[in-house]
């Protein structure tokens, strides 16, 4: 395992360099309206997609952590998730539901996306048993915040030359991203400041609250937008296929990078818990009165 990491790092670095080369190079045309500045999209959008994916994983891990406390809730949750998968996929092919799907999206694409929910749920539950769910949660939250910060920094940098303004409160994408960022920063603050032995569960509950909030945030800003028309930062509409191609490649490169960063953070968290346990064992063994740690296990600040 340990030798794999440097090799993967080098590969990822090469991949990122290649993506950068494509993003700035001649293979992608210059945007007719925006000029060269539009190329920020190749960093802005992949960072956003990565952040949302990481937060989604955090949400799944948090729910699993919460339901794993009792076997009855765990079994119930499994059935609910399966039901979501089945109903979601079937519904996409019913004419009544198909009318609700926005134009441009094929029902099979939506069905595949819905199918990802149970797939992720069972994959994560299988790969990260027990306490590792919580380690995964804190890892994805932290790395997600990093990527989300990048979205919020590159967004205004992009908006300024294109629209003349740094920020538009009705811009649904940037504003919802800001709220998501705020929720997860508060999640990380809770983890750091909480000294209770049950910090993990409290944080998981907060993550669930955050996830419930996201559609409401989206709805509220969407309606606000209809009342106060504002520019859409980041542009909408269809894309030149060459641009889309480079965008996806850039995303793949950043996903590899994110994966490696998460792996590092995951190992860091495991090391942290190992050190805590070592402290606890030391004080249990009664080696000297001046033990550093005090029971119960302090999961808070280092």
Q: Which helix (H) or strand (E) holds 159?
A: helix 132-163
Q: Does 85 bind other proteins (CB under 8 A)?
A: no
Q: Does 285 bind other proteins (CB under 8 A)?
A: yes
d(CA 112, CA 105): 12
Q: Does 14 bind other proteins (CB under 8 A)?
A: no
Applying CB under 8 A, among 18, 195, 284, 294 the residue interacting with other proteins is 195
Judged by beta carbon, residue 109 or residue 153, the one nearer other proteins is 153
Q: Does 261 bind other proteins (CB under 8 A)?
A: yes
Contacts of 84 (CB under 8 A, 6+ apart): 114, 117, 118
3-state SS, residue 23: helix
- CB atoms near residue 256 (< 10 Å): 18
Q: Does 189 bind other proteins (CB under 8 A)?
A: yes
Interface mask toward other proteins for 107-126; x: CB under 8 A? --------------------
Size of the site for other proteins (CB under 8 A): 68
Report residue 59 as tokens.
């949400």
d(CA 68, CA 207): 16
Rg of the chain over Cα atoms, rounded to whole angstroms, equals 22
Angle 280-190-187 from CA coordinates, rounded to 5°: 125
d(CA 261, CA 293): 29
In the complex, minimum distance from the CB of residue 95 to other proteins, in angstroms, rounded to a whole number: 27
Residue closest to 254 by CA, chosen among 30, 18, 39: 18
Interface mask toward other proteins for 26-65; x: CB under 8 A? --------xxxx-xx--xx--x------------------
Q: Does 157 bind other proteins (CB under 8 A)?
A: yes
Binding range to other proteins, per CB under 8 A, among 56-64, 77-85, 204-212, 236-244: 204-212
Identify the DSSP state of 30.
P
The site for other proteins (CB under 8 A) is made up of: 20, 34-37, 39-40, 43-44, 47, 66, 69, 143, 146, 149-150, 153-154, 157-158, 160-161, 179, 182-183, 185-186, 189-190, 193-198, 201-202, 205-206, 208-210, 212-213, 216-217, 219-221, 223-224, 227, 257, 261, 264-265, 268, 271-272, 274-275, 278-279, 282, 285, 287, 300, 302
């Amino acid at each position: 395992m340990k030798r794999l990491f440097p090799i993967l790092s080098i590969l990822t670095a090469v991949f990122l360099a290649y993506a950068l080369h494509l993003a700035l190079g001649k293979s992608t045309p210059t945007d007719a309206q925006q000029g060269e500045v539009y190329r920020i999209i190749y960093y802005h959008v992949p960072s956003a997609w990565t952040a949302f994916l990481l937060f989604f994983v955090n949400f799944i891990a948090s729910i699993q952590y919460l339901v794993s406390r009792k076997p009855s809730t765990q079994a119930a949750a499994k059935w609910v998730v399966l039901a979501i998968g089945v109903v979601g996929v079937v519904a996409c092919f019913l004419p009544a539901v198909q009318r609700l799907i926005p134009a441009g999206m094929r029902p099979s694409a939506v069905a595949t996306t819905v199918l990802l929910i149970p797939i992720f749920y069972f994959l994560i539950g299988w790969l990260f048993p027990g306490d590792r769910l919580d380690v995964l949660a804190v890892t994805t939250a932290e790395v997600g915040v990093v990527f989300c910060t990048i979205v919020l920094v590159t967004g205004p940098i992009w908006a300024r030359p294109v629209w003349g303004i740094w920020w538009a409160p009705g811009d649904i994408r940037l504003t919802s991203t800001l709220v998501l960022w705020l929720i997860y920063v508060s999640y990380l603050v809770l983890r750091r400041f909480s000294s209770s032995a049950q910090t993990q569960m409290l944080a998981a509950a907060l993550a669930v609250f955050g996830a419930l909030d996201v559609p409401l945030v989206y709805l509220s800003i969407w309606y606000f937008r209809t009342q106060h028309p504002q520019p859409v930062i980041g542009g909408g509409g269809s894309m030149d296929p060459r641009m889309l191609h480079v965008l996806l490649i850039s995303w793949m490169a950043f996903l590899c990078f994110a994966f490696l960063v998460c792996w590092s953070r995951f190992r860091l968290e495991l090391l942290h818990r190992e050190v805590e346990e070592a402290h606890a064992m030391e004080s249990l063994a009664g080696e000297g009165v001046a033990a550093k740690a005090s029971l119960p296990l302090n999961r808070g600040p280092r």
